[in-house]
Amino acid sequence: MTTQTTPQKPSGTPAAPATGLIGIPPHLARALATGGGLLTVLSTFLAWTWTTAFPGNLTVYGYPGGLQVLVLIGGALTTLLGLASYGVKGVRRLTPADADPAVRFAALGTFATTWYTVLALSYQLGGLVNLEPGGWIAAVTTLLTLLGALALPYRKPQPDPLDPDSTSWERVRHRLAHAGQSVKAAFAAPAPRPAPALPSYAEILIIVGIMALALTVFTYGIGTEYDELFVGFLITAGLGFAALHKAGLIAHASQITARHQNITICGAFVAAALFPFTQTDDQYATIGVYILIFATVALGLNIVVGLAGLLDLGYVAFLGVGAYAASLVSGSPSSPLDLHLPFWATVLVGAAASLVFGVLIGAPTLRLRGDYLAIVTLGFGEIFRITVNNLDGTSGPDVTNGSNGISSIPNLKIFGWDLGAEHTVAGFTIGRFANYFFLMLLITAVVVLVFRRSGDSRIGRAWVAIREDETAALAMGINGFRVKLIAFAVGASLAGLAGTVQAHVTYTVTPEQYLFAGTIPPNSAFLLAAVVLGGMGTIGGPLIGAALLFLIPNKLQFLGDYQLFAFGLALILLMRFRPEGLIPNRRRQLEFHEDADAPAVLGKTGA
């Protein structure tokens, strides 16, 4: 007698059939997403309102303006990714990883920007009655596009085995966790295939295109003329970047730039040098030079935090030491020292002063670890601010003029070139802040060179060893105290180098500029956030993180009391969905994504 047994499902059985979040057939969902993206593009050529009271002039037929341009870009990206999901020849190259997750993010970004515009129109103009047919068409088509994108198939994860003896509360938690995995998988993309090696000239052209795109995006973002346009820019840029990441284009671009790292760095500096020539006045060049100062200091902090793993909460004090040292020898009438040193000597004084303070503070404190070291550095930052505030001739000797600071700092002159005067170069008028922008760009290049050379050196490998496991590094013969002191001194001197330029850019140096936290950077909290959010241990991470953290608070001032709330919420979301940073170091990326396959060769520390 033969006993029939029910075949058991083998452990290696593939996941359940692909389904979407919405019960629409995949072929219909793909057509809805692609066609909706195309209709969204067409809707931007129609008038969305009848009055020019809303900024951007959305009343013109046949010519998109203001927020319509962002919707046009989002709709075009959704259409291209939708065609790639069909496997259209040529367009399929846009999605080396997977098209469906990319379509979801592109559709979500277009929907969010469109509906934000429609709601802002209705709120400012007094109701939906102020919408023209173009606005209604855009709202409906983006909604249908999003529904189609959400209905695209995804791989449903297999549930974890549930313990039959578990309690009811554990079963509820299990179901909630599995539901979260399902939603997360809907927006997930498989790992992209390795980028095929192209001819060198083709890859260099791709790098040039990447730099041109980055310059265009940065120039557009920094030059937004009104608040609504900047909010729409953040939505489109953020979700558009996520769509390109899910498509695998970001990973392929990273592989190409890694093969030509020197060309990429040189191209980035050339693109940055072109920025002042895109401006007609100093309005946005002013923000540009402050971003470079902030970014340079953040890159110096990245040596201390990103490479050596030392949590420094008072790093902005080294920026202040360099700024005060430079202002005292700058020839300012409010300086008690009757000195007016040339530029090169001022730079050396500022960097040397910060270096000395870094050694003096680090020598007695770097034997501490973790939270204890963070508390000590935080105390140093506050001691510096209080000390320069008290050196006013009343509470102490008259050195820094107390809370009034050192004012009327003269402009720098380099080889007879007055950075405070306008100059005409090739028909372009270069103003004061543009001159300082080029100077800070040169200093940033020096800091990048120091970071790369030190990160790839023997001392850089010792920093990484201390960061990963100090006990193991000490057991292998590394002098932990000496290595950490070098990191502290190098980081402090780089901050002082940037501080010398900051003193001359702002004309005045006061204690209130060097707080631990505040609404406007640079301060210690924003500097640390720039390093962590940008990507610890990398070159591009702190530069991009500093640019975002300086630009966003300046543009969100219209929120008033809710500015820090919105900013903090954005940081929480970024840390939740990309904890390794915008440009992660590969080692840290593997730490946060343990289920990811390890690359064959880890990138360099300073990549």
112-122 residue pLDDT tens: 999 999 999 99
pTM above 0.85, yes or no: no
Whether 46 is covered by a domain: the verdict is yes
Which CATH number is 347's domain given?
A: 1.10.3470
**Average pLDDT rounded to a whole number, residues 429-446:** 83
pLDDT at residue 130, as a whole number: 86
Amino acid (1-letter code) at residue 480: G
Claim to verify: residue 213 and residue 328 sit in the same structural domain:
no
Q: What is the pLDDT of residue 144?
A: 92
Q: Are 31 and 77 found together in one domain?
A: yes
How far, in Å, CA of 265 to CA of 271, rounded?
Answer: 10
Highest mean pLDDT among 107-121, 407-421, 489-503: 107-121
Answer yes or no: do 196 and 304 share one domain.
Answer: no
Name the most confidently modeled range: 71-85, 308-322, 537-551. Answer: 71-85
The residue-averaged pLDDT of 328-357 equals: 84
Token pair for 91: 């367009």
326 and 421, same domain (yes or no): yes
Look at residue 122 and tell me if it is in a domain: yes
In angstroms, rounded to a whole number, what is the distance separating the alpha carbons of residues 317 and 353? 12
pLDDT, mean of residues 177-200: 53
Q: Mean pLDDT, to the nearest integer, of 405-425?
A: 76
Confidence at residue 398, expressed as pLDDT on a 0 to 100 scale: 74
Cβ-based burial of 595 (10 A; exposed 0-12, middle 13-18, buried ≥19):
exposed
What confidence tier does 70 reach under pLDDT thresholds 50, 70, 90? very high
Q: Would you say 365 and 377 are in contact if contact means Cβ atoms under 8 Å apart? A: yes
Between 590 and 145, where is the model more confident? 145
Q: Are strands 428-430 and 423-425 parallel, antiparallel or unpaired?
A: antiparallel
Question: Into how many domains does the chain fold?
Answer: 2
Q: Are residues 244 and 350 located together in one domain of the fold?
A: no
**Residue 198 domain flag:** yes
Contact 541, 531 (CB under 8 A): yes
Q: Which of 193, 228, 249 delimits the end of a domain? A: 249
Measured CA distances, 489 to 423, 495, 496, 531 (Å): 37, 10, 11, 18
> Has residue 453 been placed in a domain?
yes
Residue 518 pLDDT grade (very low, low, confident, very high; cuts 50, 70, 90): low
Choose the final residue of a domain: 525, 549, 573: 549
Q: Is residue 561 part of a domain?
A: no
Residue 241 CA to residue 603 CA, distance in Å, equals: 22
Q: Considering 549, 567, 597, which residue would you say is the last residue of a domain?
A: 549
Q: Considering only CA atoms, which of 491, 575, 529, 543 is closest in space to residue 307?
A: 491
End-to-end CA distance of the chain: 69
Q: Does residue 534 contact residue 297 with C-beta atoms inside 8 Å?
A: no
Are 385 and 457 within one domain?
A: yes
User: Same structural domain for residues 239 and 300?
Assistant: no
Q: How much is the pLDDT for 306?
A: 82
Average pLDDT of the residues of the chain? 79
Question: Are 238 and 289 members of one domain?
Answer: no
Q: Indicate the range of 62-66, 140-144, 295-299, 402-406 predicted with least confidence.
A: 402-406
361 and 473 part of one domain: yes
Helix (H) or strand (E) holding 284: helix 283-302
Indicate the residue type of 428.
F
Higher pLDDT, 418 or 461: 461
- Kindly report the backbone phi and psi dihedral angles of residue 308, in degrees, each rounded to the nearest multiple of 5, phi listed first: -85, -15
Is 538 in the same domain as 473? yes
In this predicted structure, the answer to whether residue 548 has a pLDDT above a threshold of 90 is: no
pLDDT of the residue at 9: 41
Range of the domain at 294: 281-549
The reply to whether 95 and 139 lie within a common domain is yes
Tell me if 21 is assigned to some domain.
Answer: no
Shared-domain flag, residues 440 and 520: yes
Q: Is residue 604 part of a domain?
A: no
Alpha-helical regions (H) of 191-305? 200-222, 227-247, 249-259, 261-273, 283-302
Look at residue 586 and tell me whether its pLDDT is greater than 60.
Answer: yes
Question: How far is residue 174's CA from residue 161's CA, in Å, rounded to a whole number?
Answer: 9
Find the DSSP H helices in 456-562: 458-468, 470-475, 480-506, 524-534, 540-555
Q: Would you say residue 606 lies in a domain? A: no
580 φ, ψ (degrees, to nearest 5): -80, -5
How crowded is residue 174: how many other Cβ atoms within 10 Å of its Cβ?
16
Task: Give me 171's structure tokens.
Answer: 């079963």
